[in-house]
Amino acid sequence: MRKLLLLVLIPFLLLPGRIQAQGDATSYLDSLERKYSGLKDYTVDVLVHFDIEGFKAPDMQAKLYWKVPDKMKIESKRVFFLPKEGGFFNPSLFKKEDFEIKLLEHLTYENRKAVKLKLTPKKTKRMTQDVVLTIDTDRNLIKEMNISSFEGREVKALIQYAKFNDFELPTRIELHLDIPFNESRGIRDFDQSAQKTKRVTGKVEITYSNYRVNSGLRDETFKQTESPLSREGY
Amino acid sequence: MNLLWFEMVKTFSRWRTYIGFGFIALVVILTEVVMKLSAGEIVYRMMKSLQKDFLIFGNILNGWFVTTFIMNSLHIHIPFLIALVAGDMVSGEATSGTVRLLLIRPPSRYNIIAAKYVTALFYTAGLVIFLGLMCILPGLALFGSGDLILHHYGKFGLVFIPEVEIPLRMLFAFMAAVWSMTVVASIAFLLSTLVENSIGPIIGTMVVVIVFLVIGNFPFDFFHSLKPYLFTTYMVFWQRFLDDPIPWQEIARSAAFLGLHSIGLFFIASVAYGRKDIKS
């Protein structure tokens, strides 16, 4: 009888601790949100360098415009590719109400106090399964992102910051891609078992310079003639 | 030289010669208009696998992309248009009953066959150059210029060719396409010397091209081992000029293989014509 009582009581005894942990985890995202609440818009020059197997592209340059909450525009004279996951800095990307947040561990990252949070989207938008953030809690900065998708796509982003007009903004994002790809050889692949999923790995280095912060970008700036490929969903 | 001029005038005064040019003009313009109207859908299909990972900005669907797209789509059909004229070069004389009149003139049979062959090659080059101009000029007018982004179907990755490099690469690609098509012209020409009506060489050439293409693409090891010996394997070597880096060794090997085919086929055709017993 006592054992049964204990079994019933244990979950109730542990629940406050669990709620406490959940609350702590949320507080880190709150701190991030507060830190960037004054950031209304920015303009930055972007340089993208690709080092991906089979991806023979030169370095690409563009000007990136961003405005709260999630307006983004790219201005480039030439063709420009930007990684979808972690390609640009959007402080309102991780809203606490959009994710189930779990504190994974406290750690030391680059000699500073840090935490690792696991964010699972409440709505499975864009096939993101979960995101693991490493947050420098001394400076309230996301230093590392590990994004995994249901399709087996793994993206790791390492972020370096510098201060511009009181805001610490990325100067370099290094993306490590590990993505699955079903390679088809057309007519020769009538045997479906021959179409093995290949994993493509590589690195994308994105360098940001010449930030202009809170310059009062108008909404009209983002009404561009869209390239058929720049729309969400393509 | 007079003989060559005479053959040129004869060939280019036939309405049949212009079927190929008309077909190309019609198909290319139609394709470009349709591509203009459904630009988003076409590029989406082409870049589908990359769009999972990248946001893509800029004018990808430009005149150069359209040219490459049409070239990739039409390189199977152009041999038929070439066979239409090259397959009629010699047998056409027999059909129209002018062969004896031609052979009683002073020039030797070898000079006559050489003039006819050069005329067939001239037509082949003209047709491919016309295709190039029809793709590039309206393509650039309708879609503008820009960097060429090529993504091979079923493969991850892409080739990015800067805008400044494209005209020269396209020139080489079209020269390579002309070189490839001379083999088709040579087959049609050889068959034309062996028979006395034009339908046989035209159909025969297409049968050879189609059978070789099918053999080369069959998913069996036996056929796969034959692939290096089929001229159709090397016919698409124009695409290599749009690779990065350009595989010059592979291009040289393909060009030599195709060149030897053309020389061999012309040699057989001239020997066959030289020994031919003209009975009608």
Token pair belonging to A46: 């972007």
Residue B260: how many other CB atoms lie within 10 Å: 12
Is residue B60 a contact partner of residue A229, using CB atoms and an 8 Å limit? yes
Distances (CA, A) of A42 to A36, A165, B125, B224: 12, 11, 55, 56
Please report the pLDDT score of residue A196 as a whole number: 63
Is it true that the peptide bond before B245 is cis, omega within 30 degrees of 0? yes
Chain A CB within 8 Å of residue B220 CB:
no
Please report the pLDDT score of residue A186 as a whole number: 47
Judged by CB atoms closer than 8 Å, whether chains meet at B219 and A187 is answered as yes
Smallest CA–CA distance, residue A33 to chain B, in Å, is 26
Among A142, A125, A124, A126, residue whose Cα is nearest residue A134: A142
| Nearest-Cα residue of chain B relative to residue A231 | B55
Please report the pLDDT score of residue B91 as a whole number: 84
Contacts of residue B25, defined as CB under 8 A and 6 or more positions apart, other chains included, come to B130, B134
Judged by CB atoms closer than 8 Å, whether chains meet at A82 and B39 is answered as no
84-123 in A: which are within 8 Å (CB) of B?
Answer: 84-85, 87
Judged by CB atoms closer than 8 Å, whether chains meet at A81 and B54 is answered as yes
Smallest CA–CA distance, residue A169 to chain B, in Å, is 21
Which of B44, B163, B217 lies closest to A228 in CB terms? B44
Q: Note down pLDDT in tens along chain A; length 234 residues.
A: 556 555 555 555 454 444 455 557 788 888 888 888 888 999 999 999 999 887 878 899 999 999 988 888 899 888 889 888 878 888 878 888 888 888 888 888 888 889 999 988 887 665 677 889 999 988 889 999 998 887 788 899 999 999 888 889 999 999 998 888 766 554 444 455 555 677 888 999 999 999 999 988 888 888 755 444 444 332
Smallest CA–CA distance, residue A86 to chain B, in Å, is 10
Please report the pLDDT score of residue A9 as a whole number: 53
Residues of B in contact with A62 (CB under 8 A): 57
CA B226 to chain centroid, in Å, comes to: 22
Instruction: Write the DSSP string, B38-78.
Output: THHHHHHHHHHHHHTTEEEES--S-HHHHHHHHHHHHTTTH
Say how far apart CA A47 and CA A73 lie, in whole Å: 15
Please report the pLDDT score of residue B121 as a whole number: 95
Residues of B in contact with A228 (CB under 8 A): 39-40, 43-44, 61
Which of B54, B153, B217 lies closest to A188 in CB terms? B217
Distances (CA, A) of A58 to A34, A52, A152: 38, 11, 27
Say how far apart CA B140 and CA B142 lie, in whole Å: 6
Residues of B in contact with A190 (CB under 8 A): 219
Among B178, B27, B13, residue whose Cα is nearest residue B85: B13
| Nearest-Cα residue of chain A relative to residue B41 | A228
Q: State the CATH class of domain A15-222.
A: mainly beta
Among A233, A218, A206, A234, residue whose Cα is nearest residue A71: A218
Please report the pLDDT score of residue B50 as a whole number: 76
Please report the pLDDT score of residue B67 as a whole number: 93
Cβ contacts from A onto B, under 8 A: 112
Which residue is listed with tokens 């990252």?
A109
Chain B CB within 8 Å of residue A42 CB:
no
Residue A58: how many other CB atoms lie within 10 Å: 14
Smallest CA–CA distance, residue B99 to chain A, in Å, is 46
Q: Note down pLDDT in tens along chain B; length 280 residues.
A: 688 888 888 888 888 889 999 999 999 999 999 988 887 777 777 777 777 778 888 888 899 999 998 988 877 789 999 999 999 888 877 777 776 666 667 778 788 899 999 999 999 999 999 999 999 999 999 999 989 988 766 666 788 898 999 999 999 999 999 999 999 999 999 999 988 888 899 999 999 999 999 898 888 888 888 889 999 999 999 999 998 889 999 999 999 999 999 999 999 999 998 887 766 5
120-159 in B: which are within 8 Å (CB) of A?
Answer: 146-147, 149, 153-159
Please report the pLDDT score of residue A229 as a whole number: 47
Domain parsing of chain A, residue ranges: 15-222
Chain B CB within 8 Å of residue A199 CB:
no
A58 phi and psi angles, rounded to 5 deg:
-75, 175
Contacts of residue B203, defined as CB under 8 A and 6 or more positions apart, other chains included, come to none
* CA dihedral sign of residues A168, A174, A180, A183: positive
Provide the ipTM. Answer: 0.76
Determine how β-strand B158-161 pairs with β-strand A55-56.
parallel
